[in-house]
A and B are shown apart, each in its own frame.
With several copies, the nearest count.
Chain A
Amino acid sequence: MTVSVQEADFDAGTEIAALSAGRDDVGAVASFVGLVRADKAAGASAGTDAVQAMTLEHYPGMTEKALQEIVTEAQGRWELQGVRVIHRVGRLLPGERIVFVAVASSHRGDAFAACEFIMDYLKTRAPFWKKEETPAGGRWVDARESDDSAAGRWATN
């Protein structure tokens, strides 16, 4: 199982260990955990307008397909021995884990590059939307240009 979209939390240590369990050819596992930040509200000044919770909506069916395509694209670009992507949906509180990506490879350069690539592509291509709850009410998070430019770095000419 490479890709999961779920309400449940995950344990990064268990997932990382699973990528090298029972084998002796994995040299490197790079991974990433994204979390809900209380101060993330767009344009919020410090201490005011904090995020109290976040709800993640997605497009069931397309989400899993899009994540799998991103993983397949990474597998074509680097020599990978295993990939694991978990994205949570539903209502999450500040400090809670949202997303997990881990990549196993013989070499650390490939593992790091593929892990960052998958996160960058996930941010711009996987159909998830965040709605923040703040004292001022609920609001949908705007897409950030910095995410588009992060994904754009990986374009092949």
Chain B
Amino acid sequence: MTVKVLFFAGLREALGTGSESLALPGGVATVGGLRDLLAARGEPWSALATTKNLRVALNQQMVGLDAPLKGGDEVAFFPPVTGG
């Protein structure tokens, strides 16, 4: 299955990209699994494992790392929000 992955703010800058489309290998079933898959690419992607209090949104709703993935999902990784 394929998912769309988005990155924002400091994480977007560290990775040098704001989004990608990704075909997931069979073993990746949760947003946490997706995070680990990306972090395993090495620098700069390990920022996904080291960012303090990394937040995840699945289809534009905040979720925990155990949220399950399905094809066509939009997954966004970002640091804690600082608006307002």
Contact = CB atoms under 8 A, between A and B. Distances in A.
Q: Are any A and B Cβ atoms less than 8 Å apart in their complex? A: yes
Interface stretch (B25-33, B42-50, B65-73, B76-84): B76-84
Interface of chain A, main secondary structure: mixed
Interface string A8-28: 000000000000000000000
Interface stretch (A43-51, A53-61, A73-81): A53-61
Interface string A31-48: 000100000000000000
B17 to A, nearest CB: 14
B11 to A, nearest CB: 9
Contacts of A56: 83
A130 B78 contact: no
A59 B84 contact: no
A123 B9 contact: no
A124 B60 contact: no
Interface residues of B, number: 19
A125 B81 CA distance: 7
A62 B79 contact: no
A86 to B, nearest CB: 12
Given A59-B8, A65-B60, A99 B84 contact: yes
Given A59-B8, A123-B84, A143 B79 contact: yes
Contacts of B79: 129, 140, 143
A56 B76 CA distance: 17
A114 to B, nearest CB: 15
Contact of B57 (A34, A59, A142, A144): A59
Interface of A: 34, 56-59, 61-62, 65-66, 87, 98-99, 119, 122-131, 140-144
Interface of B: 6, 8-10, 12-13, 53, 57, 60-62, 76, 78-84
Q: Which 10 A-B pairs have the closest CB atoms?
A: A128-B83, A143-B80, A129-B9, A62-B60, A140-B10, A123-B84, A141-B82, A130-B82, A122-B84, A99-B84
